[in-house]
Structure 1
Amino acid sequence: MLEHGGNLQAAATRFGQSHEAWLDLSTGINPCPYPVPALATDVWHRLPEQHPGLVKAAAQYYGAPNMLPVAGTQAAIQALPCLRPASRVVVAAPAYAEHAHCWTRSGHAVREVAYAELATAVEDCDVMVICNPNNPTGATVAPALLLDWAGQLAARGGWLVVDEAFADTTPALSVAAWSAQAGLIVLRSVGKFFGLAGLRLGFVAAEETLLRQLADYLGPWSVSGPAQAIGFSALSDTQWQRDTRVRLLRDGERLHSLLSSVSINSNGSALYQWWAEADAECLQQHMAERALWVRLFTRGAGGIRLGLPAEESGWQRLQTALSEWRVRHITKRHDQNAE
């Protein structure tokens, strides 16, 4: 299995200190989750029939014509490569590593292509996979361009898969409204914006024939009854959504400004910031010694991704640790110059 953020138990084992002492900033998950409502007791007892209002609530929230609930978008990421014959697949990079991993594991010929070079790669692939906005860098592709690429791919039986797991705070980026057209597949997650990663609930927007094929492949009872009930409540709560969008955009700007104040030039989304870091492993070690867990990326030049603290005390801990890191580097450069 690939390594992901959120592996706090492993961090606590490796670096010590109790689990409660740690501040986990290694994911891009909303640290202030949707308040889970009380559930009817029969959702735990009965087999999970399809919730009568869930798909409608999801379609309204995401602006998509057709949607299929899945057990987190990871379920769709693993299943979609199994629904095609061997194909030439381009995955926009860097990105959530499971995309390239799952297409490769299913026998497809996979190339990872930088965002700046995607336009030239459309003609030479059968499937293109893009995270928009990108995780971890925050890079984006304009919807008009995505729709043009989707049309080119669909004309030869291809797919454009757009992972919009982090698009909730920037809804204008979404192409879900056009997902009924052949060849365009959009993935949406309840785990990130709503802060309910443990719920394992996501949605796929696509044309109906493909959704039926995907549903058949995933089999019955693929999404639990409690997940459906909680998801329906979250997707229907427009006031919480509006308030949360405002807060996350504000906190995202705060995180970007905090990093800038210690001379870190970062990019990202409202839920996380990322930057290429020459001393990425040393920085992760520095933060871990202070019980702050950050996401380390070792591919390419190496990088660090930070999520949002939930409380003011967490912001202060993060600011102190980053300031100490800056002083450490200034001292290091001074010592090197003195030599």
Structure 2
Amino acid sequence: MPKPLKDEINPLSIGTLASAITQVHPGFAETEFVAAAAHGLNPLELKQRVAHVAAGLARFLPQPFPQAADVLRRAAARTALDLWSGWPANNYVADHGLHHPDEALHTLAALTSHASAEFAIRAFLTAHPDRTLTQMHTWAASSDVHLRRLASEGSRPRLPWATRVPLLADPELTIPLLDRLRNDPEDYVRRSVANHLNDIAHDQPAVAILTGLRWADEGGKHTDTVLRHGLRGLIRRGNLDAFALINARPDIPARITGLRPARNSTPVGQPLTFSFDLHLNPRQAARERLILHYALTPALSDADSPRLHFLSQSAPQAPLRRSIERSHPTQSLRPGDYRLTILANGTPHAHAPCTITG
């Protein structure tokens, strides 16, 4: 069993950071810092540990902040830190650098190639929105892949684990960053762009669709891949505009026959197994994308947008007819009657009743 991520913040990672600082600032009380930062770690969770080590830095780094920032920049240039040794340094900058935004942003730029500053930058987007967005546009044009990714990742509206920034509820502020980065040569950056677009789609689907339409019209060798990943949330919600944008036409000429659960009723906790036959015509099989999903909804539900579960995606030259069998876990379902639906490119093509028993 893998160890918890929180255990990556430990005396060894703290020692790595301390050694890096000592190499460029011999007056740093390395032994005392490691002892103080490692004390009391055990009961703390991951982000609490990061904050605890950052508080230790505040006690032992030189003051005022610009001096401490200079030390951290020189340490990052001298030593190959990693996520676990560098993350607390980013936290320190976010906690103590807000009154010195130029120094702080310069320091986050130096640290982000070791440990992404995507969380720390949020404090500056809140406190200094114009200054920070201007800097992120500069980073988006950088030759450094880590800075380009930071411009997209740090400004995501729904960045996991991160503090929400009210400013980022307006996607028009960050879409220009995505415009610049969506065809970046590095997949590392493009995946961040796609995740950012998916965040926008969660709250403002119409904006995401309009952005996708513009990108599709403008073209680019990576546009299709970015849109497929960036619109995945809308795809799961059955948004037909999203299907059309990834060349999965809702009116795809496919037929589904023989949809049938493996048994009339399935006890909670046992998989609901079902099968069906898919029929394609030669034109579709050779040229068009077909994405199959299924939905399982209570029989009396009138939900317009049930959650879709992925089944398969047909590549060109797929077989013209094939049988498909899948199972759905039932542990979280309540006993009752359900409706099983197979959808092709977001459009329902076949239905079958099924029953879950207690």
The TM-score with structure 1 as length reference comes to 0.23
Greater relative contact order structure (CA < 8 Å, 6+ sep): 1
Higher Rg: 2
When the two structures are superposed, what TM-score results if normalisation uses the length of structure 2? 0.22
